[in-house]
Amino acid sequence: MSVSDLDVVENTILAPYTTFQLGGPCKGLLFCQSPKDLEYTIKQLAADNERFILIGGGSNLVISDQGVDCYVVRYATQNPLIECSGNKITVAASVSLDVLAEFATEKGLAGLTCLSGIPGTVGGAVVGNAGAFGKQIGDVIETVEVITPQGQLKTLSKEDCGFSYRDSRLKETKDIVMAITVSLAATEVAQSVAQRPEILALRREKHPDLMEHPCAGSFFRNIEPTSSAEKRQAAGWFLDQAGGKELSHGGAKIFEKHANIIVKGDACTAQDVYELHVKMAYLVKKKFDLDLVREVRFVGSFSGEIGKQDIIW
């Protein structure tokens, strides 16, 4: 068996598979929905020594206008591949994070409702330790089923993953998340269900509708606590104070309601987004002497200091 035996869509434009709606072609696109699909595909790619990157919902990345000279595995599904036993939920990493949040909420299990409305898949959320309202998915992880780029299966504990603010050790190891098990606390179903629409409403107030304003969400991580602030400070506040909302580059613009979000305008390119994010970081450095850390990943070739990203194997 080899890559030639897989169902590959060759020379596919990647823009439709990212929330930014940007990105050039790849060598070939492979679709996986279940952990078994993913395991089979990764093992075939590894057997042929083929380079590839993996994307989920495409919500936290900007793909180069030139695309990527490798295969792309898209691990995402509309099917609710979720099982619940008591206060534990096992879910395929290809499932939408919001679908998982809704499922847990309706089961009366606390710990994931805060993640309601965040775009992307469970796998991407785990790798980036997605969170909101002071909580993050790493808080409730029990085990993570992964496959290495070489095709080896492993079960990781919460500690193995090395979760930290919007980060995990998985970015370094390049282990690919196949499925996770979370351990949640029981709560009143009515209380849990009532919280979800409130959280969704809050997100709608500050975050763009992806259909109207394609984007990759918050671009920079919030600022680590200082002696004068016991909690992280919003990167958007610093950007706003530094005049970031007035910035633009080509077709890339700042969202009018959130200084930390770049949105796609007319004739926007991935390179425009890159140039605009450099301007944003420069403004904050100049005014506050703070170095903003990107939350969004750039993939492929860009003009500037970025270079190749570590998610290309």
266 falls within a domain? yes
Q: Which residues pair with 71 in a beta bridge?
A: 28, 52
Give the domain-ending residue among 138, 169, 204.
204
What's the CA gap between 165 and 221, in Å, rounded? 9
Same domain, 86 and 198: yes
Same domain, 98 and 53: no
The answer to whether residues 144 and 113 touch, using CB atoms and an 8 Å cutoff, is no
Same domain, 185 and 237: no
Residue 230 has pLDDT above 80, yes or no: no
Model confidence at 188, pLDDT cuts 50, 70, 90, reads: confident
Element (H, E) at 250: none
Q: Which of 81, 86, 101, 70 is nearest to 36 (CA)?
A: 81
Same domain, 222 and 277: yes
Model confidence at 191, pLDDT cuts 50, 70, 90, reads: confident
Per-residue pLDDT at 227: 45
Per-residue pLDDT at 108: 93
In terms of residue numbers, what domain contains 219? Answer: 209-299
Q: What single string gives the DSSP state of each residue in 88-153?
A: EEEEETTSBHHHHHHHHHHTTEESSGGGTT--SBHHHHHHTT-EETTEEGGGGEEEEEEE-TTS-E
CATH of residue 220's domain is 3.90.78.10
Same domain, 195 and 93: yes
140 falls within a domain? yes
Q: What does pLDDT average to over the chain? A: 92
The answer to whether residues 275 and 70 touch, using CB atoms and an 8 Å cutoff, is no
106 falls within a domain? yes
The answer to whether residues 10 and 28 touch, using CB atoms and an 8 Å cutoff, is yes
Residue 288 has pLDDT above 50, yes or no: yes
CATH of residue 70's domain is 3.30.43.10
Residue 307 has pLDDT above 90, yes or no: no
Same domain, 116 and 215: no
Taking the complete model, does pTM exceed 0.85, yes or no? yes
Same domain, 213 and 200: no
Q: Which residues are catalytic?
A: 166, 218, 295
Same domain, 64 and 115: no
Element (H, E) at 288: helix 270-288
55 falls within a domain? yes
233 falls within a domain? yes
Which residue reads 């075939």 in tokens? Answer: 44
What's the CA gap between 264 and 272, in Å, rounded? 9
Q: Which residues pair with 9 in a beta bridge?
A: 29
